[in-house]
Amino acid sequence: MEQTGDTKQPCETLDDETLFMVSQTFKALSDTTRIRILHLLSQKECSVNEIADELSLLQSTVSHQLRFLKNLRLVKFRRAGTTLYYSHDDQHVMDLLSQAIHHACHD
Ligand SMILES: [Zn+2]
């Protein structure tokens, strides 16, 4: 998985841009629908229809959340004919999500 940001200097000091990005990252993970979508995309690539079917969501809801996640470069898509297939695009954030799920499930 290609990573963005690894070519930058390590974030030794929290400048305003870094603080903003960190808060955006947690904002992305602060919505139950986005969590479900990212968790599904951690397992497989999906079209909007497949996400809507698997998670029992409206397509408009899925599209809205995918735009949000795409803007933060947490998901990407490839086009096959008229269908867009979405996948996750940042292993750091998927690791954060996995850690949070494990945290929620342990004793
Ligand atoms: Zn824990």
Q: Does residue 29 form part of some domain?
A: yes
Domain count, the chain: 1
- Type of residue at 3: Q
- Asked whether the beta carbons of 39 and 75 are under 8 A apart, the reply is no
In a domain, 59, yes or no: yes
Cα of 100 to ligand 1 centre, how many Å? 8
What CATH number did the domain enclosing 75 receive? Answer: 1.10.10.10
Is the residue at 8 inside a domain?
A: no
Distances (CA, A) of 89 to 14, 36, 105: 24, 16, 25
Report if residue 7 sits inside a domain.
no
Selection from 74, 70, 88, 86 nearest residue 26 by Cα: 74
According to the model, what pLDDT value does residue 3 have? 52
Residue 87 lies in a domain: yes
pLDDT at residue number 74: 97
Domain annotation covers residue 67: yes
Q: Which domain holds residue 59?
A: 17-105
CA of 97 to the centre of ligand 1 (A): 12
Residue 43 within a domain? yes
Predicted pLDDT of residue 9: 64
Distance from residue 98's CA to the centre of ligand 1 (Å): 11
pLDDT means over runs of 10, the chain (107 residues): 55 87 96 98 98 98 98 97 97 97 94
Assigned domain for 4 exists = no
- Ligand 1 centroid, distance to 104 Cα (angstroms): 7
